[in-house]
Chain A
Amino acid sequence: MPNLRISGLKVGYGRATVLEDLDLSVSPGELVTVLGANGAGKTTLLNGIMGLAPPRAGSILLENEELVGLRPEQLVARGVVLVPERRELFGNLTVEVNLRLGGYRTDASSKSLDRIYSLFPILAERRKQKAATLSGGEQQMLAVGRALMAGPRLLMLDEPSIGLAPLIVQEILRVIGQLKADGLTIILVEQNARLALSVADRGYVLEVGKIVLEGPSTSLSTDPRLSQAYLGGAADYAAARDQVYVD
């Protein structure tokens, strides 16, 4: 029985439809990655689940409860939590207040604060600093920490590696691995396919609003169609290999 089952999902903005008739499912405790080039509709998918871009058709069931039609705050109360690509932190508030606000729905105790600080020790050092003064990597950690404060059942991460130094990316990945080991259900959206497949159980590949490929990480990472999806089927296979597979 999948924890999350999306069927026939249609999401768009204004007159444009970005996703149409999309099916996707995630089992409890599974880490699923959604891959695809820029503009494939990855962020739109997450915004659709989160109610930021309300779905126009289809259904999203989380443990048999329909999520379509709920407002973001109602989704957070049900344990559906998103770490957005742009992080959306409260720049003029301190690190600690940002974290506490993450637990707005759960009356977060100082115990959950301590847990975040032990996951990201650097945040404990910066607790009195304003979020806007943090480095990019620290801001990403804060965004993940803030999401965890909500006590998620389903955690969605939108390109957590974007624009970060390799060392920081490793740090974030380490935490994602740890959360998975703790049994959290995770959807990881990434452009960096090699990175995502190294931690994910399963993956989907999106291309202009449609799922063109899915399967376990091990078989996806050797599938030549993956790199084609990134280039929209265009030539220069070698360049794609460099981008996706390079070590």
Chain B
Amino acid sequence: MIDTLLFLLVDGITNGAVYGLVALSLIVIYTVTRVVNIAQGEYVTLGALSFASALSGYFSPFSWLVAGGLAAFAVLDVADRRLSNSARIRMLLIRSIWIAGVLATAFAANKFPGSYWFAVLAALAATASLGALTYRLTVEPVSGASPIVLLIVSVGVYMVFHGAAVLIWGAEPQSVPPVVDGGVSLGPVFITYQSLWICCFAVLAMAGLYTFSERTLIGQALQATAVNRVGAQLCGIPVRVAGQLSFSIGAGFSALSGLLLAPLITANYDMGFPIGLKGFVAAALGGIVEYPTALVGVALVGLTESFSAFQISAFRDVIVFLMVIPILLWRNAVRPPEAHEH
């Protein structure tokens, strides 16, 4: 009995770590841009699939697509006639380095098939860049729109990504080898190294994000944009760049959760959506704005899932998604929604 309990606990925490990365992505994106990103789970998929192909040495067209999109927007942005020449040169330089980075990591992974870190870098670079592109293409043109419009836009993005993933990688699941085989016996429970790896990596990534947003001026500028958009503009913080950055961070974190999870469940085009929704359930506990509460939510969702999978496995997703109702009721009672200022 106690063995089962411990096993479910470990399983739940591992799942929770994965959802935690997605929940943080949702919060970063929502606080800065007011987009409740339904497409968040697709970054999980894209991260896992591009990681799987990079690891197997297949140069997927995904990196080319992202680099091409970046190049197209670089041309549009640099052509902006309101820019001063020095700003134009600086922008051209930054974009070139960016595009070169996406392609260089992809080529490096292609050159050294089976290299874990090159594959991680290639997958993260491409997916995080796709986040920035998505913001530029779908959110910026409707900036100032109501949250419901932004949400519907993200549903459209979800559909496109979902289809694109099938087109690029096919419907066949791809198995991904774990970073290290085997595991460790802790008393009666066997913990795979991959589970430990997921938890460590997730904690490190969260600590990194925390340090970035508390200790660097750019991180503080992101927070400032989240708290007060007008105030940020008046400080000279480019809120469009802040939006792109938040989408990049969000996409990168979700991609990370996807590539960490892939060895446990195999990577396929359909894996991301439920993970995105579970991240949403966890983030909802904190109103999609509070990081610490979201982490509590993540533990709750992860554990509920593993325990319900054990008891009534056919209903595991149903039970997790049902949790959103009591969570929203509780949230409403504790912190009634304020009238928005803008």
Tell me the A residues contacting B by CB distance below 8 Å.
50, 52, 69-74, 76-77, 81-82, 84, 87-93, 97, 100-102, 104-105, 146-147, 150
Contact = CB atoms under 8 A, between A and B. Distances in A.
B220 A101 contact: yes
Q: Is the interface of B mostly helix, strand, loop or mixed?
A: helix
Contact of B236 (A84, A100, A150): A150
A92 to B, nearest CB: 6
A77 B217 CA distance: 17
B156 interface: no
Contacts of B223: 90, 92-93
Contact of A105 (B82, B227, B236): B236
Given A93-B220, A101-B224, A104-B217, A69 B82 contact: yes
B75 interface: no
Contacts of B238: 71, 73
B168 interface: no
A81 B233 CA distance: 10
A101 B230 contact: no
Which 10 A-B pairs give the minimum distances between C-beta atoms?
Answer: A76-B236, A88-B231, A105-B236, A72-B233, A73-B238, A73-B236, A90-B224, A90-B227, A101-B235, A88-B230
Interface residues of B, number: 18
Given A81-B234, A84-B234, A92-B227, A100 B82 contact: no
A101 B233 contact: no
A73 B224 contact: no
A104 B237 contact: yes
A87 B228 CA distance: 10
Given A91-B227, A93-B224, 6 more contacts: A72-B233, A72-B236, A76-B235, A93-B227, A97-B220, A105-B235
Interface of B: 82, 217, 220-221, 223-224, 227-228, 230-239
Given A74-B82, A93-B224, A105-B236, A100 B230 contact: no
Given A74-B82, A101-B217, A104-B217, A90 B231 contact: yes
Contact of A146 (B221, B235, B239): B235
Nearest to A146: B235
A74 B235 CA distance: 10
B239 to A, nearest CB: 8
Contacts of B217: 100-101, 104
Contacts of A146: 235
Contacts of A71: 82, 233, 238
Contact of A102 (B227, B235, B239): B235
Which of B231, B232, B236, B238 gathers the greatest number of chain A CB atoms within 10 Å?
B236
Contact of B234 (A69, A76, A97): A76
A165 B231 CA distance: 24
Which of B228, B231, B237, B238 gathers the greatest number of chain A CB atoms within 10 Å?
B231
Nearest to A105: B236
A66 to B, nearest CB: 9
Contact of B82 (A70, A72, A90, A91): A70
B282 to A, nearest CB: 22
B44 to A, nearest CB: 30
A93 B239 CA distance: 18
A70 B234 CA distance: 13
Contacts of A147: 234
14 contacts: A70-B82, A73-B233, A73-B236, A76-B234, A76-B235, A88-B230, A88-B234, A90-B224, A91-B227, A93-B220, A100-B217, A101-B220, A101-B235, A104-B237
Contacts of B234: 50, 72, 76, 81-82, 84, 88, 147
A81 B236 CA distance: 9
Nearest to B241: A73
